[in-house]
Structure 1
Amino acid sequence: MRRIYPDITDNPDIAQAYAYPKGRPWLRLNMVASADGAAWLKGRSGGLSSSGDKRIFQVLRGLADVVVAGAATVRKEGYGPVKPRESWAEIREGRPEVPPIAVITRSLGFDLGDELFTEATSRTIVITCESAPHERRKEAARHCDLIVAGDEAVDMRRAVAELHARGLTWILCEGGPRVNAQLAAHDLVDELCLATSPMLVGGGAARILNGEPAQVTMDLSQVLEEEGVLFSRYTREQSQ
């Protein structure tokens, strides 16, 4: 892997390249897309991924306080609990050995007996709303840390504030596109990490933001490259 912007460097330190800004909360989106903007291939992001993307994916998880994903992404991508990794020892010093997964869901329509809820090293968080079925909320509270944020739908501002209140201020969101769009529409996104695969997909795949309109102006902070895949890091303009 090499860095091609802002300077040219071979084999950059990935953890250093993606370090969070110290002393402030930060919400980062991490997504992969085809060259024509598709967020998945045959319904999953894995078909667009690469070995470099997988390495960066793991480092970004290790750097984060919490990993957020929508329920649809958790189901489609087959999420399990985050596993401890020896390579994270330094970047997670003073914190739990793994970040928890936080699942955003309005309906609580998933299997609470899944390993994501029963075998997580760091207790899984579920973020839902008042309209979620009452019995399902009670059941979920027995298996995870339950956050109720919003009435008819999850209020993203309240959800992020609740994570901050738990000391989880470095937030990594892995999608999907609808969750990303909601976060952007509520002006909550500080950074986008985007892997661009040298592939054309076409068809009906969503873009990495799919839903509410948003306009978030960002600066290109860094570009890495490996095997034709570009890894771009965009951050909020400093004036904002």
Structure 2
Amino acid sequence: MRQLLPPGEDQNPLDVYDQPRPTPNNRPWVMANMISSLDGAISVRGTSGGLGNPADQKVLGILRSLADIILVGAGTVRAEGYRPPRTPHPEAAQRRVARHQAPRARLAVVTGRGDLDSQAALFADHPPEDPLPLIFTTSHGAAALGESFVGRAEVVALAGPRVDPDLVMEDLHQRGAGIVLSEGGPSLNHQLVAAGLVDELCLTVAPLLVGGEGPGLINGPILESLEEFELAGLTTEAGLLFCRYLSA
């Protein structure tokens, strides 16, 4: 991976992203990871896979290896066909051990309506040695999920008519999570940004023009207060541009 900013020699991608991260007060550090085309598209025919390549998948694996929790919206789980997180490659796994983290990140799904399928691979093929996936939902969503998720997920019904991201982070903090990796989609990204919870944005820019009228990185009303980020790192590999931003 070639480092562009700050200028330097070729870097081990693990070293690029395995940086010290402070712990905010009473909540985990939140990283958001997304991929976008040159014209701002985040998917091709409904999934992000058409934008990336093996270099992007490698960075995704590295970011997952840093996280305690992988947070994702229900729509993205369905569209991308999510499966249980895999064991990181050996060097990343060794670093997790050194940081006293679990062997793999735990996956947490956000759904207000409880519109998830208990037969999906994420829940049905879950490794028995790992903690069950978390589902953050409302009381209405928990009722919709019913009994079909017993033994397949831990359902957390939060107070209020919608899933409050602050309550999600409070719960994850109480579970000991230090780093949360949000993988979207754009609606979840909007909720996190609007709540001032995104500390770091890892954005992959693909050298493609897609067109269409799909959502961008965040999907929702114009933010009351614009969120400013500072470019902390810029690298490139296999035609992709990897941008690392920190909240200003």
The TM-score, its normalising length taken from structure 1, stands at: 0.92
Which deviates more, 141-150 or 220-229? 141-150
Number of equivalent positions: 236
Aligned to 2:233: 222
Aligned to 2:84: 81
Aligned to 1:67: 70
Aligned to 1:17: 16
Q: CA deviation at 1:139?
A: 3.8
Aligned to 1:236: 247
The TM-score, its normalising length taken from structure 2, stands at: 0.90
CA 195–54 in structure 1, closer or farther in 2 if over 3 Å, else same:
same
Extract structure 1 runs of 4+ deviating beyond 6 A.
none
Aligned to 1:172: 181
Task: Pick one of 106, 113, 119 that aligns with 2:112.
Answer: 106
> For 1:30-64, what per-residue CA distance to the aligned partner results, in whole angstroms no more than 9, with x for missing partners?
00000011111111100001221111000100110
The answer to whether the 8 Å contact 2:114/2:144 transfers is no
Aligned equivalents of 1:141 and 1:151: distance in 2? 23
Aligned equivalents of 2:168 and 2:34: distance in 1? 21
Amino acid paired to 1:68: L
Q: CA deviation at 1:206?
A: 1.1
> For 1:129-160, what per-residue CA distance to the aligned partner results, in whole angstroms no more than 9, with x for missing partners?
12225252444354212222232110111011
Task: Pick one of 133, 136, 140 that aligns with 1:131.
Answer: 140
Aligned equivalents of 1:218 and 1:85: distance in 2? 29
The answer to whether the 8 Å contact 1:2/1:225 transfers is yes
Q: Percent of aligned pairs with the same residue?
A: 33
Q: CA deviation at 1:169?
A: 2.2
Q: CA deviation at 1:110?
A: 1.8
Aligned equivalents of 1:86 and 1:35: distance in 2? 30
Amino acid paired to 1:189: V
The answer to whether the 8 Å contact 1:147/1:159 transfers is no
Amino acid paired to 1:90: Q
Aligned to 2:94: 90
The residue matched to 2:20 in structure 1 has which SS?
A: coil
Aligned equivalents of 2:29 and 2:7: distance in 1? 24
Aligned equivalents of 1:66 and 1:16: distance in 2? 20
Aligned to 1:196: 205
Aligned equivalents of 1:193 and 1:234: distance in 2? 6
Aligned equivalents of 1:108 and 1:224: distance in 2? 39
The answer to whether the 8 Å contact 1:198/1:229 transfers is yes
Q: CA deviation at 1:20?
A: 4.8
Aligned equivalents of 1:122 and 1:86: distance in 2? 20
The residue matched to 1:193 in structure 2 has which SS?
A: strand
The answer to whether the 8 Å contact 2:115/2:141 transfers is no
Which deviates more, 23-32 or 86-95? 86-95
Q: CA deviation at 1:113?
A: 2.7
Amino acid paired to 2:85: V
Q: CA deviation at 1:122?
A: 3.3
Unaligned runs of 5+ in 2: none
Unaligned runs of 5+ in 1: none
Aligned equivalents of 1:113 and 1:147: distance in 2? 19
Q: CA deviation at 1:22?
A: 4.1
CA 232–23 in structure 1, closer or farther in 2 if over 3 Å, else same:
closer
